[in-house]
Structure 1
Amino acid sequence: MPHFRLHPAADVAPADLHAAFTTAFADYLIGPFRQPLELWPRFLARQGVDIGRSRVAVGDAGILAFALVAPRADVASWRLGVMGAVPAARGTGAAPALLDDFIARAKGEGQRRVELECFAQNERGLRLYRGRGFAGVAPLHGYGSEGVGPSGLASGAVPVGLDEAFAWIDGLARARGDLPLQVTSVSLRAQPMHLHAWRCNGAQVVAAGTAPDQVTVLSLLDTEPGQGGTPALIGALRQQWPEASLHVPQLQRDDLGGDALRRLGFQPLPLHQLLMHRPLA
């Protein structure tokens, strides 16, 4: 019998869950997460996490693993926002038990599917998820702008208010059903930075200055034929921040702007994620 029990994450102290998270991700592919405890609630908000629906595996030594759930009512899906196990618990079955529980509870609540993102280089994670019926929907790449000069003109790109920008994203998310949660309003509204948005016909970007010399593209969605809106949107960012490098996290779909970024000279980051879905019959 496994030496752990599954409990609602709301039943454990936030500091204990934060400590388990920090330990579990100390050897993460893209480097350790150093999320201060005081910023922990903001991190969970950006991930869309519902602590009441999240679960932890608890053993004699404390929290062994956790599965933090982000419900997506707009697409009748539960997202596995964050799942991890402390090193000593790997191989104990705690993480698979949490994943099975996550899938079963989502099905019990009438969800159409479950979803997650996993780094394509995370072989152990992919084996677990594929073994539970998850399949890749789209690669999610990140990009850097090193070596990219001032690009194109901002002709056609107009600034839009954030409420309007969020409503546009949410409409697209409902229509398509396959956008990563972190490029939608759920995550964007929880960002601590001052956000800016521009639109060019059927394309939109939301970005923020995240360092004195860096701008992060938090959401780029281009539905124009040939992704024709992206050059104008990048031009708008260049006009707003002419000296800054542009950074795109590993959440960018190729078919919604990623291909255009490559044509503009952006360099893909070494690691990328896979957006994965599992239907719930």
Structure 2
Amino acid sequence: MTPRPLLWRLTPADADPWQRIMQGALAELQGLFASDWAEWINRPQDEFRTVLEHADCWAAGWAQGQPLAVGRWEALESPGTATLMGVYALPAARGTGLAAALVRQLVARAAAQGHHHIQLDVVATNQRALRFYRRLGFAPTATLPLRNPLGLDELELALQLPRRLAA
């Protein structure tokens, strides 16, 4: 029987493992994130703590405190719209359901805060990520691809969330 994924919110105390995972993600997937490994590698841990103080950042794993997948969401200026950011699963966690459980948690958190639309950007050549998000119900929007700071085209994908019923 496959164990059930554990999900937990990352706090500033989790800055060290989150920093290691994000730096590893950026090193492994050069050019597939809008951020660049070189801009993150020398950042002090305090900057990672600061992000975790303000972000709704979550981890997934088989044991509490041992994250194998991470991600976060933020509200956008457009009312009711949120974005997924920094979703990454370590190579050993791919295909295990951890990343899917994590994204479902992030989507549920955004919906619980009253958002009805959640989006993300994926580098157009990242077919693995595009297939993953499509399996979770995300679809390309009509927005034209945007060129990220690394000069790569990114596609916008979105998911409509159920609207909360008024009490």
Give the TM-score band, short-chain normalised.
0.7 to 0.9
1:193-240 deviation digits (Å, cap 9, x = unpaired):
xxxxxxxxxxxxxxxxxxxxxxxxxxxxxxxxxxxxxxxxxxxxxxxx
CA distance in 2, matches of 1:104, 1:70: 13
Give deviations 1:23-66, integer Å, cap 9, x for gaps.
23322141762412417727x76xxx943x22101334821000
Determine the C-alpha separation between the residues in 2 that align with 1:16 and 1:110.
30
1:230-249 to 2 correspondence within 5 Å? 249=149
| Counterparts of residues 1-281 of structure 1 (less than 5 Å) | 1-2=2-3, 4-10=5-11, 12-30=13-31, 33-34=37-38, 35=40, 36-38=42-44, 41=47, 50-51=54-55, 53-60=56-63, 62-72=66-76, 74-137=78-141, 138=143, 139-142=145-148, 249=149, 269=151, 271-281=152-162
Pair 5,38 (structure 1): closer, same or farther in 2 beyond 3 Å = same
Task: Give ranges in structure 1 of 5+ residues lacking alignment.
Answer: 143-248, 251-268
Determine helix, strand or coil for the equivalent of 2:96: coil
- Residues 232-275 of structure 1: per-residue CA shift (max 9 Å, x gap): xxxxxxxxxxxxxxxxx26xxxxxxxxxxxxxxxxxx4x31012
Shift of 1:109: 2.0
Q: Secondary structure of 1:98's match?
A: helix
Normalised to the residue count of structure 2, the TM-score between the two structures is 0.77
* Structure 2 residues without counterparts, runs of 5 or longer: 163-167
- TM norm structure 1: 0.48
Alpha-carbon shift at residue 67 of structure 1 (Å): 1.1
Give the CA deviation at 1:134: 1.5
Please identify the structure whose Cα radius of gyration is greater.
1
Q: Contact between 1:72 and 1:79, CA under 8 Å: does it hold in 2?
A: yes
- Structure number with higher strand proportion: 1
| CA distance, structure 2, for counterparts of residue 128 and residue 70 of structure 1 | 20
What SS is found at the alignment partner of 2:68?
A: strand
Distance in 2 between the 1:2 and 1:22 partners? Answer: 27
CA deviation after TM superposition for structure 1 residue 72, in Å: 2.0
Counterpart Cα distance in 1 of 2:107 and 2:45: 29
CA distance change for structure 1 residues 40 and 90 in 2, over 3 Å: closer, same or farther? farther
CA displacement, residues 167-216 of structure 1 (integer Å, 9 cap, x when unaligned): xxxxxxxxxxxxxxxxxxxxxxxxxxxxxxxxxxxxxxxxxxxxxxxxxx
Q: Is the 8 A contact 2:80 2:116 kept in 1?
A: yes
Report the identity percentage. Answer: 26
8 A contact 2:19–2:45 mirrored in 1: no
C-alpha deviation, 1:4, in angstroms: 3.7
Aligned residues: 153
